Structure 1
Amino acid sequence: MRGYSFRKQTRDDFTRRIEAVDPSHNRRSNRRAPREDKTPSHPFVSLIMGFSWFYVVVTVANNRSRIEESLVQGSLPVEYHGMVFNLLAALITVSGVFLMVHLFRVLGRTGAKRANSSGLLTGAGLAVALIYTPPEMVHAGIGMLDDNSRSLIQVAQDTVRETLPGVDFGSIALVSSQGQ
């Protein structure tokens, strides 16, 4: 026969066992049971969203004169131009606040929330880096590619030109360097 060690179970033992099954059981405590974080982790989607979001925000922030010219040439009445600029200023301000919120989430959270915020901040950083990279550096980087990579880029360009005929891609400028 085996020798078992018996000891008297205390109230703390009972509470510990019950809390293992149902954390909200202990009524003596004022603290609530911690909630399980059910946030799905999508860092790559967050990276793309952060890139897109900040590419638009930084482009709008850098092109005030171009937006002004577009409003003057457009059919929107002059009394609404101030409202458009106020909304764009609000977009930039809210984006800055959200950037800080995501920075605090990266510093203070764990798990999926941190991964999603990290992806978003990485995308924002990549967008800013892409916008402020000098064109000479981009051309030098493309010049450093091997023949296979250059041919792959050329095939992609040709495919886009065939898909969208009549669009002159040489005249498209995503960011104007006139204001800098």
Structure 2
Amino acid sequence: MRGQRLPDWAHGVLARRVRHRRGGRRRAAPAALPGAPAQDWGRFFAAADRDPVLQQGVALAQQYAAEHVLVWLTGRPEHLRELTAAWLGAAGLPAELLFMRPANDRRPARDFKSRQLARLAKESPIEVVVDDDPEVVQRLRGLGYQVRLADWVPHSSTLGKAQEREGRT
């Protein structure tokens, strides 16, 4: 689905899959230990399929899906496409329109998502965006999009750093 465009007829809802949670708490991004060479992003992303389903997010997505086309824009890297699509499918959510971060794209989440959203908006009106990252929400609101903060997901400062400074998720 890389480079997939929304059909002209699609009046979409852009929703972001809320991810990286375990046991009701958000998984922290891997922290480098003192003297450790780097963060273990491979292990972090490899566990993404074990994230529990957040019922409030699923209910909201299903509510929007009743009248709109759902589009998923995630900061997850492209190599996790199959895993992410399977996770969405297991939760009973459509995964046909899934846009992911290209390999080696390290822009902050707010930059990556705002640019991707601008591309999508050229093809179809965007009625609402749901995101759990306050910086993404602030940027998109500033650009004039109707945005809902997924406030049922606690925002981790470590994950926030990964999203906004390291361009990892």
TM-score band, normalised by shorter chain: under 0.3
| TM-score normalised according to structure 1 size | 0.24
Q: Which has the higher helix share?
A: 1
Q: Which has the higher strand share?
A: 2
